[in-house]
Amino acid sequence: MTNPVFLADELPEGAGSYTLAGAEGHHAHVMRLGPGAGIDVADGRGIRLRGVVAEVTGDGVRIDVASVTHEGDDVELVLVQALAKGGRDEEAIEMATEVGADAIVPWQADRSIAQWPAAKATRAAARWESVLRAATKQSRRSRVPALLELMDSRRLEAFVRRTVADGGVVLVLHEAADRTLDAVGLPRAGRVVVVVGPEGGITPQELAAMSAAEAVPVLAGPHVMRSGTAGPVAISHVARAIGRWDVGPRSAADTLGSRRPTRGVEGPA
């Protein structure tokens, strides 16, 4: 069984002793992790501490640290998920996290039934953040996907233009596309963005605007999928195509002391 993963803001540089405190330390205590149990702690930005529980104290869990590594990838996978009713958008970002998304963009599409009005946007974003953190821990990842601010279709078009200008690829899932995901060349570095529309679909105007910005309409498969399913399926296809799911040591994992800078995903100015 793999070690459970907990999240902390700051981790040590190398081997030694480390105490996991606060809410995550309490959670480890509730899970009854006793001395000798394997445990991982991640900072949510790609740094992973791996060790063994030495002692459970009133302040948290003291860990004998075996290693601290940096896990990174040359390609960023970004899911633009249209807001959807019935919690399907939250299901989508949960599954997308599990299969490898590095960033999530909430999209207020023209046909989105669900809305994030200004009065509720902060609370809605916090709920998505909670979903992403929980899915990161469940899937044993060291990186919590970045949650960008809500975009409308105009801002999304600008985001698409900038991504393509920077050498990235934007794939728009659309049932009328004449190309499949497998037919699109994917970069080995940079950014790959997958855009998923709402239940009512992407409007012709939205599709035309993104296509004019050089996004590529594609099919994720032979069947029409729900808004909550299409994104994770597409992200998994892309992750496999770029080698994310290769079995074996991760060539991008650096040992302690040689941490690479964490790459962020920015929205349009």
Q: Is residue 257 part of a domain?
A: no
- Rounded CA separation 175/31 (Å): 45
Q: Is residue 261 part of a domain?
A: no
Q: What percent of the chain has pLDDT over 90?
A: 66
- Whether the per-residue pLDDT at 250 is higher than 70: the answer is no
pTM assigned to the model: 0.86
Mean pLDDT calculated for residue range 72-92: 94
- Is residue 66 domain-shared with residue 146, that is, in the same domain? no
Mean pLDDT calculated for residue range 171-195: 93
| pLDDT tens digits, 87-126 | 999 999 999 999 999 999 999 999 999 999 988 899 999 9
Mean pLDDT calculated for residue range 146-159: 97
- Is residue 150 domain-shared with residue 212, that is, in the same domain? yes
- Whether the per-residue pLDDT at 176 is higher than 70: the answer is yes
Q: Is residue 247 part of a domain?
A: no
The pLDDT value recorded for residue 93 is 98
Q: Is residue 263 part of a domain?
A: no
Q: Could you say which of 70, 87, 120 is where a domain stops?
A: 70
The pLDDT value recorded for residue 1 is 67
Mean pLDDT calculated for residue range 143-162: 97
- Is residue 209 domain-shared with residue 90, that is, in the same domain? yes
- Rounded CA separation 228/110 (Å): 17
- Whether the per-residue pLDDT at 266 is higher than 70: the answer is no
- Whether the per-residue pLDDT at 73 is higher than 50: the answer is yes
- Whether the per-residue pLDDT at 252 is higher than 80: the answer is no
The pLDDT value recorded for residue 66 is 93
pLDDT band at residue 247, thresholds of 50, 70 and 90? low
The pLDDT value recorded for residue 249 is 45
| pLDDT tens digits, 122-150 | 999 999 999 999 999 999 999 999 999 99
Q: Which domain holds residue 33?
A: 5-70
- Is residue 109 domain-shared with residue 214, that is, in the same domain? yes
Q: What percent of the chain has pLDDT over 70?
A: 91
Q: Is residue 215 part of a domain?
A: yes
Q: Is residue 194 part of a domain?
A: yes
Q: Could you say which of 70, 100, 116 is where a domain stops?
A: 70
- Is residue 142 domain-shared with residue 187, that is, in the same domain? yes
The pLDDT value recorded for residue 40 is 94
Q: For residues 105 and 219, is the Cβ–Cβ distance under 8 A?
A: no
The pLDDT value recorded for residue 14 is 82
CATH of the domain at 80: 3.40.1280.10
Mean pLDDT calculated for residue range 222-243: 91
Mean pLDDT calculated for residue range 236-241: 94
Average pLDDT, the chain: 88
Structure tokens given for 110: 């023209």
The total of structural domains in the chain comes to 2
